[in-house]
Chains A and B, each alone.
Chain A
Amino acid sequence: MRKDKGDMELAIEVPQPRLRAVPSEPVPQPVDDSPADAELLARVGERDREAFEILYGRYVRPVFGLALRRLGDRGHAEDAVQEAFAAIWRSASTYRPERGAAGGWLYTVARNAIVDRLRRMGPTVDAELPELASAEPGPAQRAEDSDVAWRVHRALEDLQPREREMIELAYWSGMSQSEVAQYLHLPLGTVKTRTRSALARLASMLEGEL
């Protein structure tokens, strides 16, 4: 239900989320005829720059996120992204679909590039501190967290912009669903329905991983 002139104004200060731009009107769901990652990798192996750009668009956030988690510094992480994609460009021709999914191959190449950079950075201040019991996750847990983030962030790239917006608002805007409803000028029920729909799509994409 949209708000009419006569409706009572709510004195809620709604935090403004930082979101990627989405169309203002609902858009029909296009048929997904985009090339699969494996096909793109094969084309990149033949030095197809257009395929490389598409692959970059799909993976730059997961790679950057992975680099940030491992390196903890945006400057180093950006450099690592550069090196990771350079490595993908160089070695795409070695990818063999029969040995595994393209996403897993890309994860390995990116992770190796990031680890190489980490090694080049040398020992950090942390490494010189005496060993103390810590609540921080260990290497195995960090690796698992990185892997989950990689898969989720990659899947988000395949959502429709409106679906992605719903997920971002629901999970990371800091707003309650009532506040989201006010922000979008939509009834609360519609917001919940759209969130469920977006979550269901995401779950389908992650299905093989779950």
Chain B
Amino acid sequence: MNRDRNLDELIGADTTGAERERLQRAHDMLLEAGPPPELSPKLEEGPTLGMTLQRRRAVKRRAMLLLAATLAVVGVFLAGYAVANRGGSGTPASAKLVLKGTKNAPKAQATLEVWQSQAGNWPMTLTTVGLPPLPEHSYYEVYLVRHGKPWGACGAFRVGDNPQQPVTVTLTAPYTLQKGDSWVVTQPGHGGTDPGKTVLQPAPVTA
């Protein structure tokens, strides 16, 4: 409710002169502005991951023509090859998370790029190096972490015999992402228990 308040009623009549005029202007602006809106719980939570994922920018006509010319030069086969090897969904990348090896795999490191959502899926490209090879029938798993706990599986992968050989895999998170969501890579525990030991976790953010 906004009663059309008189400034004297609110602060008394003691203030005079220039200060009074200054306060009157602020008072008038407050009345004109009205109260700030109530935020929904969703907005109160803070920025969402979706806000920080890039959208494909509208491609202008000239850029399209240039792209067409380039594709003609390079050739259909080469273009197809490039598209097939671009990883993810072909959508521009977005949020990039740096993962560091835990004490379970101290030499490991990885980057996880989360791409623009498509029909509720969040394609991801994980590139990792330094993870030790696992026994046969065993595999690493990528988990979405929510509120500090593994929340949902996003896919599994293996690495080759040479830990220094980077491995790139494409995964997806078919979940509604929330603020604070993150990812870890785990190694199944004894007997294949999920989610097992964490081998890669987000690196601390540096300013």
Contact = CB atoms under 8 A, between A and B. Distances in A.
Contacts of B23: 196, 199-200, 203
Interface string A143-187: 001001101110010000000000110111110110000000000
B52 A49 contact: yes
A65 B39 CA distance: 9
A18 B35 CA distance: 11
B139 to A, nearest CB: 31
B36 A156 contact: yes
Chain A CB within 10 A, most for which of B5, B22, B33, B46: B33
Given A148-B33, A172-B1, A203 B55 contact: no
Nearest to A166: B10
Interface string B8-50: 0111100100010011011101111111111110110011101
A199 B36 contact: no
B47 A56 contact: yes
Most buried by A among B2, B10, B12, B54: B10
A57 B36 CA distance: 13
Contacts of B38: 18
Contact of A199 (B11, B35, B37, B207): B11
A50 B11 contact: no
Contacts of A48: 207
A107 interface: no
B26 A64 contact: no
A52 B47 contact: yes
A170 B5 CA distance: 9
Contacts of B31: 171
B61 interface: no
A42 interface: no
Contacts of B147: none
B135 to A, nearest CB: 38
A170 B33 contact: no
B119 interface: no
B76 interface: no
Interface residues of B, number: 40
Contacts of A177: 9-10
A142 interface: no
A177 B33 CA distance: 20
B30 A167 contact: yes
Nearest to B7: A199
A153 B32 CA distance: 11
A50 B207 CA distance: 9
Interface string A31-68: 00000000000000001111011001100111011001
A15 B205 CA distance: 46
A60 B39 contact: yes
A105 interface: no
Given A82-B51, A86-B55, A171 B37 contact: no
A196 B30 contact: no
Contact of A168 (B15, B26, B35): B35
A171 B26 contact: no
A6 B36 CA distance: 40
A167 B38 CA distance: 16
Given A56-B47, A65-B37, A193-B12, 12 more contacts: A18-B38, A49-B52, A78-B43, A81-B43, A82-B51, A90-B54, A148-B29, A148-B32, A152-B29, A156-B36, A171-B10, A210-B26
22 contacts: A47-B52, A49-B47, A50-B205, A56-B46, A57-B46, A60-B43, A78-B43, A82-B50, A89-B52, A148-B29, A148-B33, A152-B29, A170-B10, A171-B10, A174-B1, A193-B12, A196-B15, A199-B11, A200-B19, A200-B22, A203-B25, A210-B25
The 9 A-B residue pairs whose C-beta atoms are closest, nearest first, are A174-B1, A152-B33, A203-B26, A196-B11, A149-B33, A172-B35, A61-B36, A153-B36, A85-B51
